[in-house]
Chain A
């Protein structure tokens, strides 16, 4: 047996990405792929089910807003805009509401192994993202079927998806890291997400809303994302975020909120990560 000293590494305790980047990536992939497989191969009609949800919601809302309230009147391609928005918002809602309880769901690995904490909410968001991409294939078939002609701006779609993805991740990080300490966050967030659904231009185009209400709604960082998605994919003549908000300068507020949420997410997650196992 050798007696020369071994090189000792400091044990630093749990953190957002503890254990190295490669390990985090491996675990992220496995966790997300596992969850995805479970959803889609667990039941025979797995994928159809997950597609059925936005489609049924779409069907109901379409009837309500074109037949009963006529909200869609005067908005070009209202039907596909509605479907597109529902699928996009569905991603945000699904990811964040699942992320809330994710640390508790993964209690086993959190309490019994060294596990990079960030991987847990990130895996949830990734699973939702797979789901979104699959749904978007169907949505684009609808878009073409409803007579929207493709434009070069469709290529800008990844910008929309990326900004939505980052915001979703940030919110997921915040709610998942706080949930172990504040257990009523689950209920609060479900309600808040529903409120956001109505506060975001999903069901209606923002320019149809009265001026005062619009001033409030354009503060949401989600609004410009949905406005851009609509302008780039569905209707090139739609006003776009700057016009709706009343000038580019006004976009600085939602942009600042967006950045603030991301910064806060990183800060709070790093602060909570080392102690999550103790709070469960």
Chain B
């Protein structure tokens, strides 16, 4: 896709929060200790971020909790003031970051739509004029005069989203919006986002739902500790996000396989998948067994080790897991001397539906105490391909039939 002109330009944006060691939030305390200087710990939420977002782009910002992504969104929305650098924007911004902000439960939907419309940057008349369209979009025509406190939460979300769409801003900043509403409404949101994007609107979405990022975003940015770690392809951003989340704090710039795991008593040497013919493969066909291979090396003596693996889907939800202890010949102690290699391998029945999956691994020692010898590390990333998608993540053998219980009436 050809990049449009720059709609949001951020240059060396910085934000520091001063966190008092001991919060003095009363005049009484201030008066009691008038000469004590308050001591602060400085929290560098954003340390010099620069990026451009182009017009007509669906731009994702991802990062862990506390990475500074929401702070960045608040700076763009003029909720916080930056301490350094500058942000410039073109076009009308919907200056809000959450649906339904400012909704007043005591007021009717009609009044709330106008109030919310103005909050999103419309004039009062303009907001009133768009009211019918908003209500129609939300499908709430029958409940126009109902007070908002009598609305169900689903209705409220629909109304809030409809107002946002109705405000028709050039730039929309959204914090985790798609996590709300039922499936059909989520679909409607999806359609709207695509349509807005095609109409040349710019959408900035902050999320930690990687499925959304991969499904929607044209580009994505990964932030960690207030610094930009990656900007570009959403797939890559999502992948790096996973590494960051499951690979320990140091695994962010190297790949997971070389990942610097803190206190290492065991080291991952290799991890791969094999097909039926014993060849290494990147991806697995639906229904074919997974040839699973992991090779690790003990650096120091490991007593009573356990090798654990979790398979999880693109949303980060664990689909299944397994753990193994060492197979011991008669009379041997359950100890791995330093320098010994261990291979965990075998075939796994593959009930996984088409999609992307990840495997994380960990090794603990002294079974009873559960110390980590190797911390959780994302070791494999593969796709199950096939033509029989379905709901959920797995297909299971089910001896279930549908038949007529009573004879149909003639």
Q: Which positions in A face B, CB cutoff 8 Å?
A: 1-14, 18-19, 22-23, 26-27, 29-30, 34, 37-38, 42, 108-115, 181-185, 188, 274-275, 277-278
Residue B75 lies at the interface, judged by CB distance under 8 Å to chain A: yes
* Contacts A112-B98, A188-B27; A30 near B80 (Cβ below 8 A): no
Is B101 touching A9 in the complex (CB atoms < 8 A)? no
Is B96 touching A113 in the complex (CB atoms < 8 A)? yes
Task: Please give the distance in Å from B380's CB to the nearest CB on chain A.
Answer: 39
Q: Which positions in B face A, CB cutoff 8 Å?
A: 2, 4-7, 9, 17, 25-28, 30, 55-56, 74-82, 86-91, 93, 95-98, 101-102, 104, 106-107, 111, 114-115, 118-121, 123-124, 200
Task: Please give the distance in Å from B101's CB to the nearest CB on chain A.
Answer: 4
Is B6 touching A109 in the complex (CB atoms < 8 A)? no
Since A1-B56, A109-B119 are in contact, a sample of 4 more A-B pairs with Cβ atoms closer than 8 Å, ordered by chain A residue number, is: A11-B86, A11-B88, A112-B96, A112-B97
Which residue of B25, B87, B91 contacts A10 across the interface (Cβ within 8 Å)? B87
- B26, B82, B102 — most chain A CB neighbours (10 Å): B102
Is A113 touching B26 in the complex (CB atoms < 8 A)? no
Give the number of residue pairs across the A-B interface with Cβ within 8 Å. 125
* Contacts A6-B91, A30-B114, A182-B25; A277 near B119 (Cβ below 8 A): no
Is A108 touching B78 in the complex (CB atoms < 8 A)? no
Is B101 touching A108 in the complex (CB atoms < 8 A)? yes
Task: Please give the distance in Å from B410's CB to the nearest CB on chain A.
Answer: 62
Which residue of B9, B25, B78 contacts A19 across the interface (Cβ within 8 Å)? B78
- The CA-CA distance from A6 to B93 in the complex, in Å, is 14
Residues of B contacting A38 in the complex (Cβ-Cβ under 8 angstroms): 104, 106-107
- The CA-CA distance from A268 to B25 in the complex, in Å, is 17
Residues of B contacting A42 in the complex (Cβ-Cβ under 8 angstroms): 106
Closest residue of A by beta carbon distance from B27: A182
- The CA-CA distance from A113 to B115 in the complex, in Å, is 13
- The CA-CA distance from A38 to B112 in the complex, in Å, is 13
Which residue of B75, B88, B95, B111 contacts A113 across the interface (Cβ within 8 Å)? B95
Residues of A contacting B102 in the complex (Cβ-Cβ under 8 angstroms): 108-109, 112-113
Residues of B contacting A275 in the complex (Cβ-Cβ under 8 angstroms): 81
Which residue of B9, B25, B75, B93 contacts A181 across the interface (Cβ within 8 Å)? B25
- The CA-CA distance from A3 to B1 in the complex, in Å, is 13
Residues of A contacting B95 in the complex (Cβ-Cβ under 8 angstroms): 19, 113-114
Is A30 touching B115 in the complex (CB atoms < 8 A)? yes
- The CA-CA distance from A38 to B390 in the complex, in Å, is 51
Is A2 touching B26 in the complex (CB atoms < 8 A)? no
29 contacts between A and B (CB under 8 A): A3-B4, A5-B5, A6-B90, A8-B90, A10-B86, A10-B87, A12-B78, A12-B81, A14-B80, A14-B81, A27-B118, A29-B124, A38-B106, A42-B106, A108-B102, A109-B102, A112-B79, A112-B96, A112-B102, A113-B101, A113-B102, A113-B119, A113-B120, A114-B79, A114-B96, A182-B26, A182-B27, A183-B25, A275-B81
- The CA-CA distance from A114 to B89 in the complex, in Å, is 14
Residues of B contacting A6 in the complex (Cβ-Cβ under 8 angstroms): 5-7, 55, 90-91
Closest residue of A by beta carbon distance from B99: A112
Residues of A contacting B86 in the complex (Cβ-Cβ under 8 angstroms): 10-11
- The CA-CA distance from A190 to B151 in the complex, in Å, is 36
Is A30 touching B30 in the complex (CB atoms < 8 A)? no
Is A34 touching B104 in the complex (CB atoms < 8 A)? yes
Is B104 touching A109 in the complex (CB atoms < 8 A)? no
* Contacts A1-B2, A23-B121, A34-B107; A18 near B90 (Cβ below 8 A): no
Which residue of B9, B28, B87, B200 contacts A184 across the interface (Cβ within 8 Å)? B28
Residues of A contacting B107 in the complex (Cβ-Cβ under 8 angstroms): 34, 37-38
Residues of B contacting A111 in the complex (Cβ-Cβ under 8 angstroms): 79
Is A26 touching B123 in the complex (CB atoms < 8 A)? yes
Task: Please give the distance in Å from A65's CB to the nearest CB on chain B.
Answer: 34
Is B119 touching A2 in the complex (CB atoms < 8 A)? no
Closest residue of B by beta carbon distance from A26: B124
Is A8 touching B88 in the complex (CB atoms < 8 A)? yes
User: Lowest 6 CB-CB distances: which A-B pairs, in order?
Assistant: A13-B81, A114-B95, A6-B90, A8-B88, A114-B78, A184-B26
- The CA-CA distance from A185 to B5 in the complex, in Å, is 49
Residues of B contacting A11 in the complex (Cβ-Cβ under 8 angstroms): 75-76, 78, 82, 86-89
Task: Please give the distance in Å from A276's CB to the nearest CB on chain B.
Answer: 10
Is A1 touching B4 in the complex (CB atoms < 8 A)? yes
- The CA-CA distance from A30 to B106 in the complex, in Å, is 14
Task: Please give the distance in Å from B179's CB to the nearest CB on chain A.
Answer: 16
Task: Please give the distance in Å from A2's CB to the nearest CB on chain B.
Answer: 7
- The CA-CA distance from A8 to B6 in the complex, in Å, is 8
- The CA-CA distance from A89 to B77 in the complex, in Å, is 39
Task: Please give the distance in Å from A175's CB to the nearest CB on chain B.
Answer: 11
Is A113 touching B87 in the complex (CB atoms < 8 A)? no
Task: Please give the distance in Å from B196's CB to the nearest CB on chain A.
Answer: 15
Residues of A contacting B6 in the complex (Cβ-Cβ under 8 angstroms): 5-6, 8
- The CA-CA distance from A275 to B115 in the complex, in Å, is 24
Closest residue of B by beta carbon distance from A41: B106
